[in-house]
């Protein structure tokens, strides 16, 4: 049984009991991903780190070590 079959069964049960239908599978996936991103950014700020640009800065240090060192010196 996949998620759509389970949704149809739950929807049928809700209709029989006069309850509100459950949300469709996958309806709130992007909202959950955005909330997770926001939560991780918040935890990063609380830890005292930058909230964005960390990956780009790490790649710059890795790929261009001289450019990163000269940027930090002056």
Dihedral sign, Cα of residue 58, residue 59, residue 61, residue 62: positive
Where residue 26 falls among pLDDT bands split at 50, 70, 90?
Answer: confident
Predicted confidence (pLDDT) at residue 68 exceeds the cutoff of 60 = no
Rounded to whole angstroms, what are the CA distances from 61 to 41, 49, 52, 66? 21, 17, 16, 8
Average pLDDT over residues 20-48: 90
pTM to 2 decimal places: 0.48
Distance separating alpha carbons of residues 52 and 63, to the nearest angstrom: 19
């Amino acid at each position: 049984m996949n998620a759509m079959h389970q949704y149809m069964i739950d929807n049928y049960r809700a209709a029989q009991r006069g309850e509100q239908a459950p949300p469709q599978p996958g309806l709130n996936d992007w909202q959950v991903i955005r909330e997770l991103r926001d939560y991780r950014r918040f935890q990063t700020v609380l830890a005292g780190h930058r909230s964005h640009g960390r990956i780009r800065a790490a790649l710059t240090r890795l790929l261009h070590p001289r450019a990163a060192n000269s940027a930090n010196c002056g």
